[in-house]
Structures are given as structure tokens and as C-alpha cells.
Chains A and B, each alone.
Chain A
Amino acid sequence: MKIALPRDRKARFVFWITAGLPPLAILVLNVLLPMWRDPLAEFAIVAAADFSPKVYDVDGTAATAGNAAKASTAMQQLLLKKNALEFEQAYLLSRLDMATSDSIGLGVDLTDSVATLEIRGVPVRRCKITRFTVPGGLQRREAVYWLSTPFELREAAASLPKAPIRVRKAPSDTIEAKEKAEPDIPIEKRDVYFILHFDKNLSLAVAQTQPTSAIGWLHRVGYLLERGWLPVAEDLSALAHLKRPTARVHMRLEMSREDAKAIYRALPTHANLALRL
């Protein structure tokens, strides 16, 4: 099929403007601007009040933290240790905060590659993270502030239902009646992929380590569409209100299907998350 462009110069101009402007606007507003926006910055300012950064005394020969490479080896090691301790402290603070709530929370420790389901601070299930991807540029002080309070779940999309509810009408097809005839026990073998959108601009995608089954692809496509739609809806809403779309930190974890399922099913609607980088 050949598409003929209008010969008229004015018509051509109108065509290119109307065809080019919408995608260009989306590119600028939804890709370029959010990419140049620091998703952590706004929380650093809020958190700074109760987790204020320390400013050290000047002794004339001291080096700045940003120029750690130039400092002595001892200084470098201390700075690295301090950094690690600050991240651990933020994680523990977050977990302690989470422990005050009655609901089930999730602790993700990327240093030890472990995700833990916790109830009132008691670890009830430890799940080995086999692989994870985290965007670069998060090992900095702003991230410590960002991580020092728990994240709260806002939205989720998954390839499996939150609760495998089956409807039965009494008394014709009840469990006991069925049991007498033949066992009707569902053995769930669905592939597990889900994404959790938290407050403070964090999104956590979890995928099973096992390869996707043939039937699992159907569920996965549905999940990918739902997953893709959530940020689009967010972007459209931002555009409608003439606001700049939010920049998000996206993390991806891989773990066994059983662990991923247990985590997704256990987390309540407004679950909390503690994160250690």
C-alpha cells in the first residue's frame, strides 16, 4: 500500500504537525522528562528532618565523601562500611516500623538475596532470591532516607488470582457432597508473575525461576497487558492534570514458583515492604 502525502505545502505542514506532535509530546513528557527526574529526591527532603545527614568537622586536610577515591585506604574502607551500615540501619528501622502493624509484611534483603514474609517482626517464610535487577545509582544517601520507612502497597497485577475462590451453590455441589462422589481438590500449578506498585515511586516485579509453561503464556500475556496498562493510566492521568509523569524505581526479583506464590497470596491489600540494597 502506498501512502501519498498531500502535494499542497500547507497540507503537508498540517499533516506532519498533527502526526508528529502527539508522539513527540509523549516522548518528551513520558520518557525524557521522567528519566531526568530523580525518583528519590522528593522523599529525601521529607525524610531529612528525622534522619538528618551528618556534616563532619573540617580539619583542613580532610577529603569530601564524594571524593572518597582520593582519600586514604582506611578512609575509603570506613566510608564503605558506614555506607553499608546506614543501609542496614534503614532496613532495620523499616522492619521495626513494619513490626508494629498486625498485617503481613515483606522484607527484601538484596545484600543477602533473601525475601522474608514477616508477621509482627517474626519471620515466617524465607525465600531465596535467585536473581535480581536493580537500577544503578541507588547506592547513595538519598536512598538511605528513602528506605528508612516501609513502602506501602498501592496496586498490583499478577498472572494468578489473589485468592483462588470457587463458587458453590448449596446444597447441590458442596465440598462434602463432592467428596463422597469424587475428590474435587484443585491442585494449582499456575505460573507466577506479579508486579507490586508501592508508594514512594517503587515498583517491584517478581518472576518465577522455572520456565513458563505452555498454558502459562496465556496468563502471562494477560498479566503483561495489565502490567503495561497501570503506568499508562497513571501517565494519562498525569497528562490530563498537566503534571509531569512520575519517575519510578523498577526492581525485578526471581525466585521459585512456590515462594513467589506464597508471597503474592500472603500480602494484604496495603502490605508494607522493607528493602535493603
Chain B
Amino acid sequence: MEETLGQQPSPTIAEKKTPARDALLAGMAIGLLSALLMLLAATFARERLGGVLAATDHAGGRGVVDLRSLRREVTRLQSEVTWMRRRLERLTPVDPYLIVNTSDNKIYLIKGKKLLREGLCSSGSYVLLKAANDQQWVFQTPRGRFRVLAKQEAPVWRMPDWAFIEEGLPVPPPNATERFEYGVLGEYALAFGNGYLIHGTLYKRLMGMPVTHGCVRLDDEDLRAVYHNLQIGSKIFIY
């Protein structure tokens, strides 16, 4: 490289670029950090303000109204709303029905708009039972609308496989005598599908707690009222 006497040596290319490169890196780091903070702040800013500034009544100047036609329109709307309200009311059963609240473990026996009985129950424990052979069961009370499919007095419990696995006992054949247990389901049972029952219990101190394998356990008095009021086909609402 040729150098001229009396002149300062010119900086190399790398030296020339250093301040700009450092500034670029520092700027990018700060920029990304502040962008991230801005994104988080944006979420909350938009929750408070989002879309509201843009709100305009596009229909405001669309139509021109006169009093007579407006009255007609209000009357029409009124009758439509009344019809819809009635239609919705008709969806509520006239016959007695049962509401099971699995969140607070309560039941409500209702007829029309009248509350016949309110009481405690026990619903699914939400236990996930894992057996050694990779089998597993979740003891959860199903939610939704159901119907009473069968009613039984002095029911006998036919123990499913998990009842034996849970106890560490060998699983007997399907109709083996050791599968049938007497007197543990109380005086009555009402079946509402997939093997789920509403029945009584020996564990009365656990009423109001989530302890069952998915069935709904009731106190003797409540069970009697439910059994005598609900017929085959009556609705059960579980949430």
C-alpha cells in the first residue's frame, strides 16, 4: 500500500463502518425491546379504546321516517318480540324437571315456574383413574339435557370393571355374582343414559361434594321427591 508523506493514514473499511454498525445493533436491540413493550401496551390500550373511535351510525341517515309508519313498525316489532318470548317460554317443560348444578353440587326440582324442591347432591369427582394396563377413566358427570330412561325401586349396583380395578381386585366375568352389590344405591334409581344414574347413597356426610364416579347421589328425602315427580321421559338438565 502506498502512503503519502504528511497525510494522515485513511481509516480502513472496517473502522469506517464500526460506528454505523454499532448504532444499528444498539438501535435494533432498543427498537425490538420497545416494540415488544408497545405490543403488550397495545393489547390493553385496545381493550379500552378499540373500535370505539371508529363507531359511526351508518344507518343514521339511511332512512327517512314519518310518525305513522314508525308507529306501524314499532307495533310490528312489539308483536314479533312477544311471539319470540312466548316461543322461548314454551321451551321450558311444563312437567316436572330436574336441574343438577355440578359446580355447587345442588339440585332443583322444578314444575313450570315453581320450585318444588332444592337440595344437595354429590356429582362426579373429576378423578382420572389410571390402571396399570394403560386403561383410564374420568369420573365426570355428563353435562347437557337428558331424559329419564328408566326408574327402579331397590336398585342393585352392577359394578363395572373400574370398580374392581380401583380396589386392586381381579375383574370378574360380566355376569359374575360378585359384580352385584345390594343396598348401596338407596331406595330408588333413575337412569339417564350411558350407565349414569340418579340414586341414593350410604355416604351421606359427603353430600354437596364432588365424590362420585359420574352418577348423581341424592339424600333420601330428595331422592324420594325426585323419583315420585319425574316420570320416564322427564327432562334432566345438568351443568
A23 at the interface (CB under 8 A from B): yes
Q: CA A165 – CA B19 in complex, angstroms?
A: 58
List, in ascending order, chain A residues with CB within 8 A of B77's CB. Answer: 82, 85-86, 89
Q: CA A35 – CA B91 in complex, angstroms?
A: 41
Which listed segment binds A: B62-70, B150-158, B188-196, B215-223?
A: B62-70
Chain B residues within CB distance 8 Å of chain A: 19-20, 22-24, 26-28, 30-32, 34-35, 37-40, 42-67, 69-71, 73-74, 77-78, 80-81, 84-85, 87-88, 91-93, 97, 99, 101-104, 125-132, 138-140, 143-145, 162, 165-169, 203, 206, 209-211, 235, 237, 239
> Are B24 and A232 within 8 A (Cβ)?
no
In the complex, how many angstroms separate the beta carbon of A252 from the nearest chain B beta carbon?
9
Extra 8 A-B pairs, beta carbons < 8 Å, given A135-B55, A170-B129, A170-B165: A11-B20, A19-B30, A122-B145, A140-B56, A165-B126, A166-B128, A171-B166, A228-B43
1/0 per residue, CB under 8 A from B, across A201-241: the answer is 10100000000000000000000000010011001100000
- Given A12-B23, A15-B27, check contact A23 B50 (CB 8 Å): no
> Are A85 and B62 within 8 A (Cβ)?
no
> Are A64 and B63 within 8 A (Cβ)?
yes
In the complex, how many angstroms separate the beta carbon of B221 from the nearest chain A beta carbon?
22
Q: CA A125 – CA B26 in complex, angstroms?
A: 57
In the complex, how many angstroms separate the beta carbon of A49 from the nearest chain B beta carbon?
15
A110 at the interface (CB under 8 A from B): no
List, in ascending order, chain B residues with CB within 8 A of A54's CB. Answer: 63, 73
- Given A27-B38, A265-B103, check contact A174 B46 (CB 8 Å): no
- Given A65-B60, A140-B57, check contact A14 B23 (CB 8 Å): yes
Contact of B91 among A93, A122, A140 (CB under 8 A): A122
> Are B103 and A258 within 8 A (Cβ)?
yes
In the complex, how many angstroms separate the beta carbon of B162 from the nearest chain A beta carbon?
8
> Are A142 and B58 within 8 A (Cβ)?
yes
Chain A residues within CB distance 8 Å of chain B: 6-8, 10-12, 14-23, 25-27, 30-31, 34-41, 44, 53-59, 61-66, 72, 74-75, 78-79, 81-82, 85-86, 88-89, 92-93, 95-96, 99, 102-104, 117, 119-125, 135-138, 140-142, 163-172, 174-177, 179, 183, 185-187, 201, 203, 228, 231-232, 235-236, 247-250, 258, 261-262, 265-266, 268
> Are B42 and A235 within 8 A (Cβ)?
yes
Among B22, B34, B58, B144, find the residue whose CB has the most chain A CB atoms closer than 10 A.
B58
Contact of A62 among B53, B66, B130, B239 (CB under 8 A): B66
List, in ascending order, chain B residues with CB within 8 A of A25's CB. Answer: 35
List, in ascending order, chain B residues with CB within 8 A of A37's CB. Answer: 51, 54
> Are A57 and B66 within 8 A (Cβ)?
yes
> Are A95 and B24 within 8 A (Cβ)?
no
Q: CA A236 – CA B206 in complex, angstroms?
A: 49
